[in-house]
Structure 1
Amino acid sequence: MPMPKGRINTRSSTMFSREENTRKIRGVRLSGCISMTKGSCCRFFKKMTGQTLSQYLESYRISRSLSFLAEGTLSVTQVAAQVGFSNPGRFSAAFSRRMHCTPRQYGKNQTNLS
């Protein structure tokens, strides 16, 4: 049963985001699933999480990539695709911003710790 406009279950929106993390997601799609306008949905999401939907998804995707990189069995390009980045260069740039090292460096460091 859809929720009335103006009300949202933050847990539902977060779970939707996690389930959809490997697909290209837009605020319009999320807002349609929770019966809110795109603008209202994006403002509410930021108010509740402190991040925009894009920031949240990027952060979530980077955190998912850590275990793949630590395993060392996939290339950086394969890891990027596995966690939902369509462009490996964008993945590497986002990873470097958040982790202060490249994906390849992270993987090597994790292998050396094992």
Structure 2
Amino acid sequence: MTMEAAQLITIILSSSVVSGIVLKLFDLIKDARAGQLQQRRAEVDRAETEKDKAIARADAAEAAEEAQARRTRIVEESLAVHRRLIIDAPCLGPGTLPEYPSRSERNP
């Protein structure tokens, strides 16, 4: 069985075309995979950014609560001091002061 030159050239050319197509398919698959990895990375980055923003919001809310509690303590201490001064004043007495509010009335 001998091959003619035309058959040999056809086999060589067809094998190189098939090889080229296979290599091109591998490149497309690789690029698609790389794109998928980039999308996944972008998704992870977005999730981390959202987490950082949520932590910052929680920290800000906690700081605001602490500042409000501090202001409330200062006002309560001032009220107690001023009530004591009014009670001790010779021209005023405890009867001139309204009832001291209970804790539940001060913090609804």
**Given the two structures, how large is their TM-score scaled by the length of structure 2?**
0.27
**Given the two structures, how large is their TM-score scaled by the length of structure 1?**
0.26
Tell which structure's C-alpha radius of gyration is larger.
2
Bigger relative contact order (CA 8 A; separation at least 6) = 1
